[in-house]
Amino acid sequence: MGMTLAEKILANKSGKSKVTSGEIVDAYPDAVMSHYASYRSVNVLKKIGVDKLYDPDRIVIIIDHRVPARTVENANQEKIARDFVKEKNLKNFYDVHKGIAHLVMMENGHVLPGDLVLGTDSHSTIYGCMGALGCGIGFTECASIWIIGKLWMKVPESYKIVLYGTFPKGVYAKDLILDFIGKVTANGCTYKSVEFHGDLIPRLTMSERMTLTCMSMEMGVKSAFIPPDEVTLSYLKGRTDRKINLIQPDEDAVYAKEFVVDVEKLEPVVAVPHNVDQVKKVSEVAGRPFHQAFVGSCANANLDDLRVVADILKGRKVHPDVRFIIAPSSQEVFLEATRAGIIQSLIGANVLVTNPGCSACGDDGGALADGEICLASSTRNFLGRMSNRKSEVYLGSPATVAASAIRGVMTDPREFVG
């Protein structure tokens, strides 16, 4: 019997020729990423009283989530991480200007197909867009891996999600995944590994793949994969010296469930407050006023997302009753968008463009007033997500956010696209 991607990777990383779902293995990750939480892991290390690191080259520390430091407390916490990096001579350190940790990881070749990559952030599932097994851990477990190099992992069952067709105009990867989460619910794939297959896959850009695997966390997955292919190879060009193996699931791998999605039947959707699985068609909420628009986060703030927004805003301005905040996902994306004239275009349309980072998604700017509503391209809309329990967050594609930011009310992007 063949193995799924999750089974193959966990077998490889635990030194076994074969594993089966439900089995607990000791797995050695290729990389462990800690972001803003790094100082907490450093403090845990001190508590345990161990100095020696298992393998410094597998440690990646990236300062994001609160960038630049907002308070003296933030600054002191960052300093703990920077001092640790210097003391241990860690080569994989990225400071406040680099952007969202997950993007920095992938842009700098820390995630390759077949890798096991853990991060102190739940959206580490995003690494599956590269065909790597990515999942989130807490900061104490991160410190543990720094010392002993391994952690226990239960081999998950796998689900297959087959995607057919091409996106209709005005419908994007964000609509696809929100629609799917709405159908299976937030608990629908808990502890499962999902694999996306089908004839849509070769047509998906790396950015669209990121949206799918990042947002998959919102249906509870342990990992989410797009099997690596030419698109993956193309993305990795110039980013790594390591040999790349386009790992695939076996032909006879066993999946506990199989879903089929006819992408041509999709429409723009939003997740309404206060859960990501409360999904409605944009047409059902159209006309609702709102106060803040946000395009940002590891789910949707890449070059293509910014371009979609700039195209919709062309020759127009943000509605006077709406604040539109955009946080590009990384320094690399910010630079490319600048060179392409996109940033100029956004600023000219009265968008507030911030430095790359988690921004409003991570409650780092863009707090909402009592009774206010935000429409965002980010990952979660839980109660109090944007700092205020008396506010609401809706989630949608960057196109939906942009179209709505022009009208001042929630708007179907197909009014502007196609």
Question: Taking the complex as a whole, how short is the minimal distance between the CB of residue 308 and other proteins, in angstroms?
Answer: 27
Whole-Å CA distances, 214 to 102, 112, 172, 174, 294: 10, 16, 14, 10, 17
The nearest distance, CB 247 to other proteins, in angstroms, is 23
Of 289 and 384, which CB lies nearer to other proteins in the complex structure?
384
In the bound state with other proteins, the residue whose beta carbon lies nearer, of 73 and 250, is 73
Nearest CA among 176, 159, 368, 413 for reference residue 274: 368
Give the ranges where 114-247 is alpha helix by DSSP (H). Answer: 139-148, 173-184, 206-215, 230-236
* Exposure letters 179-188 (e unless 16+ CB within 10 A, then b): bbbbebbeeb
Q: How many CA atoms lie within 13 A of 22 on its CB side?
A: 1
Helices (H) and strands (E) in the chain, counts: 13, 18
Report the residue number, 52 or 243, with the smaller CB distance to other proteins.
52
- Cα end-to-end distance, the chain, whole Å: 46
Nearest distance, CB of residue 187 and other proteins, angstroms: 4
Contact of 413 with 403, CB cutoff 8 Å: yes
Q: Residue numbers of the site for other proteins (CB under 8 A)?
A: 24, 37, 40, 43-44, 47-50, 73-74, 77, 119-122, 124, 135-141, 144, 147-148, 152, 186-187, 190-191, 220, 222, 275, 277, 362-363, 380, 382-385, 387, 389
Kindly report whether the peptide bond that precedes residue 274 is cis, defined as omega within 30 degrees of 0. yes
Nearer CB in complex with other proteins: 342/386: 386
> Is the Cβ of residue 118 or residue 231 nearer to other proteins in the bound state?
118
Which CB sits closer to other proteins, 27 or 322?
27
**Shortest distance in whole angstroms from residue 260 CB to other proteins:** 25
Residue 59, helix vs strand vs coil: strand
Instruction: Tell the smallest beta-carbon distance from residue 77 to other proteins (Å).
Output: 7
- Cβ at position 399, least distance to other proteins in Å: 26
